Amino acid sequence: MQLPPPVHSQLPPSGYPPSLLGPPPPAMPAPVSGPAVSAAPAAPKPRRAGFVLATIAILVTLGLGAVVIVQSRQISDLRGDLDQARAESGNAQASDDQRLDSLEGQVTQLGEQADQVFDPQAVAAAVLPSVFRITAGKLTGTAFAVGSPRSGSSRLLTAYHVVQEVWGRGANTVQLERDGETYSATVTDVDPGNDIAVLSAPFEFAGLATATEPVKSGQQIVVVGSPLGLTDSVTVGVVSAFRKGEAGAADLIQFDASINPGNSGGPVVNTSKQVVGIASLKARDAEGIGLATPIQTACAKFRVC
C-alpha cells in the first residue's frame, strides 16, 4: 500500500511564522555585467558669467590704455623738461662764457695797467745787468747791450762822441767794465751825425729790448749810466718834448731826468723796460734838460735791434 507524500512544514528557516516576522526583505538584484552607464552632461553655465568676463576684459583694456596715455604724457613732459633744461644749460654756458671773456678782458686790462705803473726799481733791476762803463782813450761814458747774442758775441750801442778820439786815430778797441770785470770790445760802425756808435764784444751779454713805437711827451723814463765814472747810477724823469737835431740829423728826445758827463751813450728806458733813446748831451748851465737820440734811428741805421 502506497503511503501519501509527507507534508512539509511551510515555516521559514527561522522557525517562526511569517505573521510574526513580517514580510521578507526584497531580494537584491543580481549584478548585471556590461558597459558602464555615462554621467548625464552638465547643464550649460548661465550667460551672466560670460558678460562679467567681457566687462572685466574691457575695463582692464581701458585701464591699460589710460596708463599708456598717462605715461606717454609724462614722457612727453619729461622730454620737454629735458629740452628746456638743455636750453637753459646752453644759455647758462653762453652767459658763463661771456662772463669769462669779460673777466679775461679785465685781467688783460689790469695787466696792461700794471705794466704801465711806474716802478723805477723794477726797471733799473731789469736794465742794469746790460749796462757797462766804457773807456775809450781818455774819455769814459756808458754803453749797453742790445738784442740777442749771436754766435757767442754781443752788440752794444753808445754815443759816437765817447769813442770819437779812438775812432779818429784809426783805432777801434775800447774797454767795458761791469761788476769789477773788464771786457774788450771793438767799434764796428759809427754815425757821427746822429751821435751813434756800434760795438761788438766776443761775449754773450743779456741784450735790452727796444721800443717799436716812438716815445711821447709826458711818458715816464729811467736813465741808467756812469756819470763822472759812477757806475750803475739811475735817474728818473719824463719826456719833456722833441727838439730838432742838426741838419740831416733825427729829432732829439728832451727829458728832465738828471744826467752828467759819463751818462753819454747810456739807455733811456720806458716803463716797459724798453730802450727808447740813447743819452747824448745836456744843456750847459742848466739842470733838467737832457737830450737823447731816438732808438728807432739806430735800429733803422744799423739793424741791431
CA distance 291 to 302: 21
Which of the residues are catalytic? 161, 195, 264
Beta bridge partners of 243: 252
Q: How many CA atoms within 13 Å lie on the side-chain side of 211?
A: 20
The span from the CA of 302 to the CA of 189, in Å, is 8
Q: Map out the domains of the chain with their CATH numbers.
A: 122-302 (2.40.10.120)
User: How far apart (Å, rounded) are the C-alpha atoms in residues 148 and 304?
Assistant: 9
- What's the CA gap between 120 and 235, in Å, rounded? 9
**Sequence-distant (≥ 6) Cβ neighbours of residue 277 within 8 angstroms:** 215, 221, 253, 255, 267, 268, 292, 293, 294, 295
Secondary structure (DSSP) of 114-181: HHHS--HHHHHHHHGGGEEEEEETTEEEEEEEEEEEETTEEEEEE-HHHHHHHHHTT--EEEEEETTE
Digit-by-digit pLDDT tens for the chain (305 residues) are 454 555 444 444 444 444 444 555 555 555 555 455 455 555 555 566 677 777 887 887 877 777 778 888 888 888 888 888 888 878 888 878 888 888 888 887 776 666 667 899 999 999 999 999 999 999 999 999 999 988 899 999 999 999 999 999 999 999 999 999 999 999 999 999 999 999 999 999 999 999 999 999 999 999 999 999 999 999 999 999 999 887 767 899 999 999 999 999 999 999 999 999 999 999 888 889 999 999 999 999 998 98
